[in-house]
Amino acid sequence: MFTALFPADCRICAAPLVRISRLPVCDDCLDRIVPFDGAACSTCGEAIPQTYAFADEAGEPRCTLCRRMEPPFARAAAYGSYDGGLRELIHLLKYERVKPAANVLGRMLAEVIIELQPSIEQRNVIAVPVPLHARKLKQRGFNQAELIARAALKLVPGATQLELAPTLLDRARETSSQIGLTRRQRRENLRGAFIVREPERIVGKEVLLIDDVLTTGTTASECARILRRAGAVEVWVATVARTMKVQRTFALPGKLATESPRALAAAKG
């Protein structure tokens, strides 16, 4: 009766919603959001076409960039690829302020944290969401990384050993958009943007850095660099989504086509 009197549509596929929920997304769209299951770099999480996968000393696959330049974090892991329904769900939270989306995204992040736990040596770990600048925080009203982190830590076994510290890392300088910048320009854009407010809390400890999306990894790398300079012994990165940048060119009859590893697999299937 409620849905008949107050009809609503899914904010992703526009299908009529037949179930009352605080999250305006249908079950079919949520079911289509699945973990990334392709080959990925064991350090940064970037997708690796199987043909170009190189193993490190432990036999784990690593991308060319991580083999050439060791990142300041130990490992970055994400639940899924930043596209399709997962991208739309994150946008609902960030740009349309649909806060119930944080609970669903938190469940996904919890799986990532559980995956990272065996690699983390210390029992007591500081969980730090990537901060927003004060002006953007006031404009949006919340930090999406913190909301997702809070939802995730409720679902992680042994989460009492994960201390959430949302104010430990601060974005002291507002930065311009990273869109269209080269990797070097992105690093320069973020240089000096983050500071650690309470370094004594992380001296000699491992830190779990949390964000909604990892795109180029520049923000995560800068945060990890600052945290390690302040005394953290290791930094781990957990995100809900990751932009899979690697593309592979393959031959089709009479032409060349460039696709992502997932699209390539689908084409071969």
Give the pLDDT band (50/70/90) at residue 157. Answer: confident
Please tell me the predicted confidence (pLDDT) of residue 18.
83
Whether 49 shows a pLDDT value over 90: the answer reads no
Whether 187 shows a pLDDT value over 80: the answer reads no
Whether 2 shows a pLDDT value over 60: the answer reads no
Give the pLDDT band (50/70/90) at residue 54. Answer: low
| Average pLDDT score, the chain | 85
What b/e sequence results for 69-105 when a residue is b if at least 16 CB atoms lie within 10 Å of its CB, and e otherwise?
Answer: eebbbbbbbbbbbbeebbbbbbebbbeeebbebbbbb
Whether 249 shows a pLDDT value over 70: the answer reads no
| Percent of the chain residues past pLDDT 70, beyond the cut | 84
Give the pLDDT band (50/70/90) at residue 261. Answer: very low
Listed range (25-39, 177-191, 220-234) with the worst mean pLDDT: 177-191
**Is 23 within 8 Å of 104 (Cβ atoms)?**
yes
What b/e sequence results for 167-191 when a residue is b if at least 16 CB atoms lie within 10 Å of its CB, and e otherwise?
Answer: ebbbbeeebeeeeebeeeebeebbe
Whether 245 shows a pLDDT value over 80: the answer reads no
Question: How is 49-61 classified by DSSP, letter by letter?
Answer: -GGG-EE-TTS-E
Q: Which fold has domain 73-174+188-268?
A: Rossmann fold (3.40.50)
Rounded average pLDDT over 213-220: 92
pTM for this model (two decimals):
0.85
Please tell me the predicted confidence (pLDDT) of residue 247.
41
Please tell me the predicted confidence (pLDDT) of residue 258.
37
Whether 74 shows a pLDDT value over 90: the answer reads yes
